[in-house]
């Protein structure tokens, strides 16, 4: 059972002042500003909360001085992310003094993890709620506006799934769709299972209906989201897994591309590789976080697979889908990681030949078992290992990209390049960024682009 830990805090003087000015609070053109930190799941949650605000007659602004409500959707995956969030929220204290009607909201993982800390460190915040009761946001906000009590509402467990609202998205042609919430894996370095709760899968019919509606509204590409999409459907009474879901999504007329994140090697099946190999729309990009090439470290991380199991998956992908790109996440300097353990990671990276890798230095996350482990690796050793790993990976990335020179690839055009307004930026099916001459009229279209020059991080091209 969920335990509701609602707490009302006494009204402070500033808030009493705002009580006397309800006209301002209820004016029609209320404005909101959102700040999103962390992962794709948070980006999607922010879209949902923004839509809730629009339905309460708020409109978006980019100026914090104009905002009547500022919402922070926070991340606590690393201590630095948390400190950054506190820094930004603290900096609003002066603005709040100038404008006592400003409502400051803290949502997301940091709020879920430690509501007391949020209330203590940033007492000028008005509303705090966690990831499990995001759907309560409109009620909590209305309640706050009515009674002007600083409101904290954190559910310790999730009671269900967040309702899906039609939302405004970053790109009109590309959208994220949640398919599974939470995580049951408890990797020893990760806070996610504590703040996002146990795994819950959305019903396939709901997901399909949402995607069909998106396609009717011009969406060409969907990214299916979950902390571990491969465990989709495990809580269903009847057998229906992630592959079954992909097979159904692949049939949707008008949809051009399907992506998904994140895939856990522990639950990665042969059936999934076969499904992707036979599909039309599922992109040939596999993001498979390895984290370490050492069996000893993988065990300490509680990852649930060995190096050999992982390499078998890679071999099957290469065999069934030779043009697939494979990317990964790697942590260096996990507690107890020896030079030999790190060398095993280097060898694995060399063997796999990843298209790219997100590489991280292990940083202890309080509240996780790894933070209390002995044998923490000194920071200079971690930095040195990271440097070596990045050099190795960058060489692989460039070599793999070079092999694409001259090829014509299908590109979904996303935006004008950040660095040159005469150039466009798009993405290949294998998730490589390609920059080429073009104009804004191309945005949202699928076009063929020839690779003219490969770089480590992206490709340069020409339309053909």
Select from 328, 392, 336, 323 the least CA-distant residue to 364.
336
Shortest reach from residue 189's CB to ligand SF4, in Å: 7
Q: Which is nearer to ligand SF4, 198 or 399 (CB)?
A: 198
Q: What is the DSSP string of 131-182?
A: GGGGGGHHHHHHHHHHH--EEEE-BSS--SPPPP-----SBTTEEEEE-EES
Q: Which of 91, 166, 103, 113 is nearest to 137 (CA)?
A: 103
CA dist 178 and 193 (Å) reads: 17
The sign of the torsion formed by the CA atoms of 130, 132, 137, 139 equals negative
Q: Which is nearer to ligand SF4, 7 or 185 (CB)?
A: 185
Nearer to ligand SF4, 231 or 417 (CB): 231
Q: Identify the three-state secondary structure at position 286.
A: strand
Burial of 75 (0-12, 13-18, 19+ CB in 10 A): buried
Among 147, 186, 236, 457, binds ligand SF4 (CB under 6 A): 186
Least distance CB 45 / ligand SF4 (angstroms): 15
Which single residue is written with the structure tokens 């970053």? 170
Query: Scanning residues 262 to 281, which ones bind ligand SF4 (CB under 6 A)?
Result: 264
Candidates 169, 179, 184, 232; CA nearest to 210 is 179
In the complex, minimum distance from the CB of residue 183 to ligand SF4, in angstroms, rounded to a whole number: 3
What is the nearest approach in angstroms of ligand SF4 to the Cβ of residue 358?
Answer: 12
Q: How far apart are CA 14 and CA 336, in angstroms?
A: 51
- Contacts with ligand SF4: how many residues (CB under 6 A)? 10
Per DSSP, 6 falls in state -
Nearer to ligand SF4, 30 or 327 (CB): 327
Nearer to ligand SF4, 122 or 229 (CB): 229
Structure tokens at 357: 């890798």
Tell me which of 15, 41, 48, 190 binds ligand SF4, using CB under 6 A.
Answer: 190
Do residues 52 and 14 touch, judged by C-beta distance below 8 A? no
Q: Site for ligand SF4 (CB under 6 A): which residue of 187, 255, 298, 357?
A: 187
Closer to ligand SF4 at the Cβ: 39 or 71?
Answer: 39
Give the C-alpha separation, 48 to 41, whole Å.
Answer: 11
Structure tokens at 134: 């995001």
* Residues 212-251, interacting with ligand SF4 (CB under 6 A): 227-228
Residue placing its CB nearer to ligand SF4 in the complex, 274 or 329: 329
Q: Which is nearer to ligand SF4, 186 or 457 (CB)?
A: 186
Pairing label, strands 257-261, 325-332: unpaired
Span of 146-154, 186-194, 280-288, 432-440 interacting with ligand SF4 by CB under 6 A: 186-194
Per CB under 6 A, the list member of 7, 99, 185, 312 interacting with ligand SF4 is 185
Q: Which is nearer to ligand SF4, 190 or 377 (CB)?
A: 190
Q: Does 370 bind ligand SF4 (CB under 6 A)?
A: no
Site for ligand SF4 in 154-183 (CB under 6 A): 183
Segment interacting with ligand SF4, rule: CB under 6 A, options 80-88, 188-196, 238-246, 381-389: 188-196
Q: Which of residues 193-212 bind ligand SF4 (CB under 6 A)?
A: 193
User: Which residues contact ligand SF4 (rule: CB under 6 A)?
Assistant: 183, 185-187, 190, 192-193, 227-228, 264
């Amino acid at each position: 059972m969920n335990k509701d830990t609602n707490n009302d805090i006494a009204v402070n003087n500033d808030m009493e002042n705002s009580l006397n000015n309800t006209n301002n609070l209820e004016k029609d053109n209320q404005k909101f500003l959102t700040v999103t930190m962390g992962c794709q799941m948070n980006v999607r949650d922010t879209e949902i909360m923004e839509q809730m605000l629009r339905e309460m007659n708020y409109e978006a602004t980019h100026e914090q001085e104009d905002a009547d409500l500022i919402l922070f959707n926070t991340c606590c995956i690393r201590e630095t992310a948390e400190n950054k969030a506190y820094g930004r929220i603290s900096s609003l204290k002066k603005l709040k003094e100038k404008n006592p009607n400003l409502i400051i909201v803290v949502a997301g993982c940091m709020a879920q993890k430690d509501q007391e800390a949020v209330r203590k460190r940033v007492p000028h915040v008005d509303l705090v709620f966690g990831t499990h009761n995001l759907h309560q946001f409109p009620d909590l906000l209305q309640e706050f506006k009515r009674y002007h009590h600083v409101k904290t509402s954190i559910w310790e467990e999730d009671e269900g799934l967040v309702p899906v609202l039609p939302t405004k998205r970053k790109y009109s042609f590309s959208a994220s769709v949640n398919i599974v919430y939470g995580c049951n894996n408890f990797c020893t370095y990760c806070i996610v299972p504590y703040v996002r709760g146990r795994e819950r899968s959305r019903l396939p019919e709901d997901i399909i209906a949402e995607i069909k509606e998106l396609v009717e509204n011009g969406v060409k590409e969907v990214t299916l989201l979950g902390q571990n999409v491969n465990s989709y459907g495990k809580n269903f009474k009847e057998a229906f897994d992630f592959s079954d879901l992909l097979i159904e999504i692949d049939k949707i007329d008008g949809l051009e591309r399907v992506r998904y994140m994140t895939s856990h090697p522990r639950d990665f099946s042969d059936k999934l590789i076969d499904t992707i190999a036979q599909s039309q729309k599922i992109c040939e990009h596999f993001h498979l976080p390895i984290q370490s090439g050492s069996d000893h470290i993988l065990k300490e991380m509680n990852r649930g697979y060995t190096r050999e199991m992982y390499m078998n998956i890679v071999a099957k992908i290469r065999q069934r889908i030779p043009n697939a790109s494979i990317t990964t996440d790697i942590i260096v300097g996990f507690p107890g990681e020896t030079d030999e353990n790190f060398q095993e990671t280097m060898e694995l990276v060399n063997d796999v030949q990843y298209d790219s890798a997100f590489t991280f230095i292990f940083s202890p996350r309080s509240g996780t078992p790894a933070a209390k482990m002995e044998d923490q690796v000194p920071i200079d050793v971690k930095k040195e290992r990271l440097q070596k790993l990045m050099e190795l990976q960058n060489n692989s990335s460039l070599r793999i990209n070079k092999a694409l020179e001259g090829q014509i690839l299908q590109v979904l055009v996303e935006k004008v390049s950040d660095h040159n307004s005469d150039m466009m930026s798009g993405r290949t099916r294998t998730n490589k960024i390609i920059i080429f001459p073009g104009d804004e009229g191309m945005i949202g279209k699928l076009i063929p682009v020839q690779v003219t020059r490969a770089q480590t991080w992206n490709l340069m091209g020409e339309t053909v």
